[in-house]
Amino acid sequence: MKRILFVIALAAASVASAQQPAGDPKAAEPYISMCTGCHSIPGYQSSFPHVHRVPKIAGQSAGYLEAALRAYAKGERSHPTMTGIAKTLTDKQIVDIAAYYAERGAASK
Ligand code: HEC
């Protein structure tokens, strides 16, 4: 039951985010080089400081990606690399990067 509620909440969040003004994917391009090393390869694993499965982020909804990056920046979600990276991003960079990855997945499907 918990799981079903979670899925409904996620669906509601992505509907809400579709109505928000989108970020600018072009503006995000200079920062994407920070992410591709880990996130561009499906099924890739990062081995520092432990082996982590790197989630695929291309094609996820922009709202979800934004929320995840903000959660790392605020320390609500914690992972050594992601927290470190998210803390260096401005709010605009987060929105733009989320738009970039959301659009990229849609194009490569
Ligand atoms: C050193 C490898 C590495 C780099 C570089 C990196 N990430 Fe990650 N990222 C990870 C790992 C590993 C996770 C999963 C961490 C966890 O379990 O919370 C993750 C998780 C995420 C998530 C959450 C995905 C989900 O499904 O919840 C997002 C969003 C994300 N990264 C975006 C980025 C962005 C944007 C950049 C560049 C600015 C970036 N990452 C750079 C390794 C990396």
| pLDDT tier, 44 (very low <50, low <70, confident <90, very high otherwise) | low
Q: Does any ligand 1 atom lie closer than 6 A to the CB of residue 82?
A: yes
Q: Does any ligand 1 atom lie closer than 6 A to the CB of residue 85?
A: yes
Q: Does any ligand 1 atom lie closer than 6 A to the CB of residue 57?
A: yes
Q: Which residue's CA is the nearest one to ligand 1's atom 31? A: 82
Q: Which of 41-45, 50-54, 78-82 has the lowest mean pLDDT?
A: 41-45
The pLDDT of 19-43, averaged and rounded, is: 81
Rounded CA separation 96/77 (Å) = 20
Rounded CA separation 87/19 (Å) = 26
5 CB-contact burial (10 Å; exposed 0-12 / middle 13-18 / buried 19+):
exposed
Q: Which residue's CA is the nearest one to ligand 1's atom 5? A: 35
Q: Does any ligand 1 atom lie closer than 6 A to the CB of residue 69?
A: yes
Question: Tokens standing for 10?
Answer: 């996620």
